[in-house]
Structure 1
Amino acid sequence: MGCSSGKLVPEPPKGGVHAEYVKTVFPNDNYITKFNEVPNKGEYSSPYSQEGEGGQGGRRKKPAKYRTRIDPRVLAKYDIKALIGRGSFSRVVRVEHRISRQPFAIKMIERRPGAATIAETELHVLRRVRHTNIIQLMEVFESDDKIYMVMELATGGELFDRIVAKGSFTERDATRVLQMVLDGVKYLHNLGITHRDLKPENLLYYHPGNDSKIMITDFGLAFARRAGDDLMMRTTCGTPEYIAPEILCRRPYSCAVDMWAIGVITYILLSGTMPFDDENRTRLYRAIIKAKYTYTGEHWKDVSALSKDFIDHLLIIDPQERMTSAQALKHPWITTNAASSSMKNLHRTISQNLLQRASSRANSTKSARSTRSTKSTKSNRSLRSDHRRVQAYELEKLNLEG
């Protein structure tokens, strides 16, 4: 669930960026504790969000009991409430500070090969950043077997879940969302940080209110450029439907890959459909490499030409011609908050398409599981990771230039 074996791990800044480092505590002993597991509402739920112990809608599931070793110094400071997310090498728990009673999320990462590298990457990046639209790292505990990252807890849910539940969504709503995302991305790019895995699952609302901000999360694949480093990156990583063509072609690439991903996100925001979508990975990657997408279908008839122009200036094959975050913030569709666009409620079409896609994905996953051999290898398990991130060896098997 990450980059190729030659993953580049960023280092903390050498000064002049964000000198106020997050404090690291080094505990030693471990203690077994038991708490409830919040039933996950879906395969792609973010580990940084919590929408309630019953999940989204439907019948409330009885919480399962979860046991794990948690360092006593963590337990002395935080009251563990529930398990809200899990991965191959990590667990995320919702906690409450024992004195302030403020809620947080703690990401517990096991010290195993691969997992520790991703954790260090995320730590090095989050220690550098402080921005209202980026998830904040509060504190770090380290023990012999785990790393504990205390983070802000976003309680408003994932971007698209909120759109489906809201009942109303216009182009003006879309530009407000994108302004916040672009502000955060511009800040990152100015620091020499490329996220490399921007997608709706990593965009969370801070709280359930209508005035909630959007927060960028999950920096496990991020890259932070150091002084004197080459401006270009070479590690193959990302999530298939959002990955930029230059990465698929295994060419050196820049932070422009994040802008391609924002183009994909915008396309989905306005239609509920993907610009590049195919269960067959080879066909999917070839469509991305050729930037082969259209605005056909009923769901595009009420979408403005200006919003399409915004997308067209992001989904460009040549990264040099792609809008930067600063340029995107100055695009007339963004600066006017879509004032010249139709204020038609796009919610019904968008939510129907999003739910249809989720249902199709769920059925496809069930079918794959029912026919899959029981002799599942570690590599196969990696390809079935929740975030469906690209593995470098997978790309090596494909003739994408054909």
Structure 2
Amino acid sequence: MTHPQHTTVGIIGGGPAGLLLARLLHRSGIDCVVLESRDRSYVERRQRAGILEQGTVDVLRACGAGERMDREGLAHDGIELRWNRRAHRLDFPALTGGRRVRVYAQTEVVKDLIALQLADGPPLLFGAQARAVTGADTGRPAIRYHHQGREQTLTCDYVVGCDGFHGVAREAVPERVRRTYTRSYPYSWLGVLAEAPPSHDELIYAHSARGFALFSMRTPTVSRLYLQVPNGTDPADWPDDRIWDELEARGAIDGPWKPARGPLSAKAVLPMRSSVTEPMRYGRVLLAGDAAHIVPPTGAKGLNLAVADVTVLARALDRLHRTGSTELLDAYSDTCLRRVWRAEHFSAFMTTTLHTAPDQSPFDTRLQHSQLDRIADSPHAAAELAENYTGLPLI
């Protein structure tokens, strides 16, 4: 194949952030190239988040990637919180003025965006391993990458790193400039897929003395389930019956409820951490998604933050393309970081409120119960949670 030598925007990473940015730029008439280190099959199977905020849904629809999402995704008007054998439902539309979320797996979002990209979009190179970004502080940065057995160089007007925390784009920001704030959690999630119908028609977030549990779903016949486990847990130590018994115990309420059981697959342990890198722009290199920030999954913010980043960035590049103004581009990092830190705060709040720390005292547990009681009893506290969960305005 002929490798492109230059493009306006070089995008490193073919996950949802990179693919959506490419789609938005293509619709604005801005040429770009996407370099993805993995093959297409791997990218389309990569399991990640499945909760889409209202703003994310709106962006996917607007760029032509919403048809299957609207047909197969599951619209949700709330979640249920469980603690101390009590259950309380949050009605999102009533608390937020009509906003809701949609359950649609990241694997499916990626499949939809790849199909659009290959049908009529700019170049998408699978198996293209980015080695380094050079010239970030010049007018002509470049991406050095390996593809089909050869070293290649792609010069760009701008480089966008959608290649995760360990990607080369983040390393292009000099250490003297880069500030990274991190937080680690003393527990992980054991995530599984179950060939079983969902145990409830909406997501259940369950706090218990035994640890946290989340009851989610992928389709009306496939459930996605999570258990809080110690860091370093081996999934092989958790046979199916043990997982189901623990889910049932942690989700227990005063009333006739049991999870719908079925065969489990795709067991994996997911570490929990928070991280923010500032600034999100250095010269002509810009960071988006996990390259700039990571959130624990409790708040369902990872994919949605990435969508917000590239939506802001696409508008800034469109303004530059149409008018020559760099105003929005110059404000990109500050604009995104305001939303990022709000999402980090919400995700940390959900995580520390619902999980049970290994050394947790009875005092700490009573504080958690008090917070959950307030959410159930106060419309203002419930609205604060609902507004953050369904998503703040993209801009």
Query: Normalising to structure 2: TM-score of the pair?
Result: 0.25
- Structure ranking higher in helix proportion: 2
* The structure with more strand, counted as a fraction of residues: 2
TM-score, normalising length from structure 1? 0.25
